[in-house]
Amino acid sequence: MIPIGNESRRVQFPLATYLIIVLNIIMFVLELVNGDNFTLQYALIPANVSRGEALVTVLTSMFLHAGFLHIASNMIYLWVFGPALEDVMGSIPFGIFYLLCGIAATVLQVLVNINSQVPNLGASGAIAGVLGGYILLFPRDSIRAVSFVGGSILSNRISALVLIGFWFVLQLVSGFTSLGDITQGGVAYFAHIGGFVAGVALVKFFARRPPNNVAELM
């Protein structure tokens, strides 16, 4: 199930959200132009960071992606859920919130796979923080989503609580079943978990004004 729009909320122009999306796209273009060496230079390797090396990659890895599907899925989630949080936080606080969630995501992923040499990259840890903040503030929002069933594309509405809640449970189950695997690449589930928990914990400190234009879920 892929979210494609928020039917419950109209917000002011989400400058920070769009800037983050643009920055991710620019970095992805640079990856395509410069090849694997560029990506590996700025991706995060848990074993290096745990030794206090290449600490800048804690930030740079948040703006790298492994392919078109990777960046597309992350940016869709940010585009759907980011503006509402930015609307109640303001652009600069939202940017800080986003980065803090991404850092928290990375810290947990490194702690779980502290000796791993597998490069980590992607915005999903920070975006998980956005989802964590969203589900706490706007659980009843109606989210337009599409599903792929038997070769058909189905469009439906679902509450943010159900959509994000199901996503988080999936991360928990997948994360704990993948414990101990430090040699294989794949999804950094504990980055998602760390980012989500950070978003839940931090959102009330950053939300400064009431939300606009709430429509009840029918």
Q: Which residues are catalytic?
A: 124, 192
For residue 153, the cross-strand partners are 148
Question: What is the rounded distance in angstroms from the CA atom of residue 178 to the CA atom of residue 35?
Answer: 29
How far does the chain reach from its first CA to its final CA, in angstroms? 20
Residue 108 tokens read as 């947990």
Residues 199, 168, 76, 144, Cα dihedral to 10°? -110
Residues 161, 162, 167, 172, Cα dihedral to 10°? 80
**How distant, in Å, are the alpha carbons of 4, 38, 160 from that of 60?**
27, 11, 29
Q: In what order do the strands lie in the sheet with 2-6?
A: 2-6, 142-149, 152-159
- Helices assigned H by DSSP within 138-180: 160-177
